[in-house]
Amino acid sequence: MVIKMSKGKNDANEMEYYQNIKKSFSGLKEILRINFNEKDFYYQAGMDNLEALKENIIDLLQNSCNSREIRIKLREFEHEEFESQEKLI
């Protein structure tokens, strides 16, 4: 899959971010492989969720006009996660 990236001096940074995301997904998949049998429900559910997350990140990057929009959306997500964690405590 190809991710659209803006042309300019940020290309190196964007490629580094992409590589870091790719390594993170690989690491999470490896954790699932180590901890669960491939036929286990939790393994399958985890892999399905990782695949969906990857697809959504790619769609977000391809369809967002600029990095500012992406940062705003990620901050909103972080805020929602923080609020949901506080409710559990």
* pLDDT score recorded for residue 18: 78
Domain ranges of the chain: 11-88
Under the banding of pLDDT at 50, 70 and 90, the label for residue 11 is low
* pLDDT score recorded for residue 2: 42
pLDDT in tens, 40-66: 999 999 999 999 988 888 787 777 667
pTM above 0.75, yes or no: no
Concatenate the DSSP letters of all residues of 7-54 into one string.
Answer: -STTHHHHHHHHHHHHHHHHHHHHHHHHHS-TTSHHHHHHHHHHHHHH
How many residues in total does the chain contain? 89
Residue with tokens 């870091």: 20
**Is the pLDDT assigned to residue 83 strictly greater than 80?**
no
